[in-house]
Each structure stands twice: as C-alpha cells, then as structure tokens.
Amino acid sequence: MTGAADDPAASFDPGGTGATSWTTGRIITKDLPAPNLVRLRMHVEDRQRHWPGQHYLIRLRAPDDYTAQRSYSLASDDSDPLVEFLVERLPDGEVSEFLADVAEVGDVLELRGPIGRWFRWDTYTPALCLVGGTGVVPAVSMIRAARHHGRSEQLRVVAVSRGPEDLPYADELARAGATIAHTRHEVGDRPPGPPAADELAPLLAGVELAYVCGSARFAGFAEDLLLEAGFSPEAIRVERFGVTG
C-alpha cells in the first residue's frame, strides 16, 4: 500500500474542475416539495464526476434559437446515479418558472457542468456550512458526500430560514444533525431569531473552511456573523444568488 492510498483525501478525487461542454439531460423525476420549489432529478449524458458544492448550468432553447441559462447548485453527491437540482420559482423567473410550471418528466434539457473549483468541498477538510433558504442545496450535496465517505464528523451545517416551510430538505438536514435556526419560529427550545455569534462560535471549533450560501442579504449577514464569531475572512467561501431568475 502506498501512502497515498492510505490517505482518505486521496480516495476522493472526482476531477471535474477542467473544461466542460454542453450536453443534455433527461428529467427522470420532478416534484414540488413546496409551492415555490421544484426538485428535478436528471440523467445526464456523458456525465462528468463532481465535487459537493459545484454547480451546473441549465439552458433552455426557444424555437427561434433564443436561449436562457442559469446556474444551479447540485443537491446530489457524486455517488448518485442521477443529478438533483432544487430550484426556487422566482417571480418572472424566466428559467425557474419554466422548470416549475412547464417542464415534465421525460423532457430533455441542455446541461453543462460541473462548474466551480472554489465553492467545493473535498470531504475531509473540517468545514462548516452556514446556509440560508434554498442556499441549503450545496450543503445537502456536502452532507450526502460526507455520509457516503463515512466522514460526517468533518462537516457541520447551520441552516437558516424564516420558518419550517422555507427550509428545503429540512428532514434530511435534521437527520444529519444540522443546527436549524428559524428567524420567525421556535425550533424546540430555541426562540425565533437569526443565529448569534455565541451560538456559532462553539460549532467553529476546529473548522478550517466555512461555506456561505444564500441570497445576497443572507450572505452579507452570514459573513459578518462568522467574523464576529472570530472566524478568519480568508477561510470563508461564499456563493450568493441574486436576481438570476
């Protein structure tokens, strides 16, 4: 046995950080876990392996060759035979409304990915995800990858939303031991409110990388909170989504 083979880090290197090209994928399952959320599981032609935290592009093409494309994080991990997206239907969201309202099982969409080397987790560096609303999606991919590799102790997740109905994957997050904070609802003994620095600080013990994902507003809040809790700004990686429809 070589040293590299003993190294748990060496056992997971899916590649998937270089050039990508457009391919197609077929919708295998579609469900609406909440009125404004659509979950798609897709079979991808010539799929490349991916790291948790990476994203794909979905591109729609009209008969006049007009196209619209958006980036969506993967909820699935590399071991899943399908890729899974969870998309929030935004008002006037050109792509998200189509995916929620028009797309059906069996439809073929253009896909490209995986993309991103920065916002990805190697499954062994001790990490904390501080994620809000549909920003939980890359954290779900990390949870699944950690579970698959038997390294769940390397990952802590703090998931924030207004209430239970605004938190996708709530059951899966709870089963994985995530800390759940609702700003407008109690969670057990926890009163409503955003997480506080003294709530976060103990979870940051031993953590080397923090992943923040959510709206621009949430990301700003989360960055400030991590700094207030004494975390180094160089070790924060942020994925924020804005008006991307």
Partner 1 sequence: MPVTRGFRRRRPDGPEGRLPPGQYDTGAGWPVLTAEATPRIARESWTIGVDGLVERPTTWTWDEVQQLPRSSYSGDIHCVTTWSKFDVVFTGVSVDDLLAVAGPQADAAFVMAHSSTGYTTNLPLADITGGKAWVVWEFDGKPLTAEHGGPVRLLVPHLYFWKSAKWISRLELTATDRPGFWEQNGYHDRGDPWLEQRYQGDP
Site residues, partner 1 (CB under 8 A): 17-22, 24, 59-64, 66-71, 94, 98, 102-104, 107-110, 112, 115-119, 216, 219-220, 223, 226-227, 233-234, 236-240, 242-244
| Spatial separation of the C-alpha atoms in residues 192 and 209, rounded to whole Å | 27
Q: How far is the CB of 242 from partner 1 (least distance, A)?
A: 3
**Closer Cβ to partner 1, 2 or 21, answer by number:** 21
Match 């980036």 to its residue by tokens: 71
What amino acid occupies position 135?
G
**Closer Cβ to partner 1, 5 or 102, answer by number:** 102
Please report, for the chain, how many H helices and E strands are present, in that order.
6, 11
Q: How far is the CB of 62 from partner 1 (least distance, A)?
A: 5
Q: How far is the CB of 116 from partner 1 (least distance, A)?
A: 6
**Closer Cβ to partner 1, 138 or 180, answer by number:** 138
Q: Residue 170, SS3?
A: helix
What amino acid occupies position 116?
G
**Closer Cβ to partner 1, 116 or 138, answer by number:** 116
Q: How far is the CB of 96 from partner 1 (least distance, A)?
A: 12
**Closer Cβ to partner 1, 64 or 171, answer by number:** 64
Q: Residue 190, SS3?
A: strand
Q: How far is the CB of 153 from partner 1 (least distance, A)?
A: 26
Q: Which residues of 29-66 are buried (b: 16+ CB within 10 A; e: fewer)?
A: ebeeeeebbbbbbbebeebbebbbbbbbbbbbeeeeee
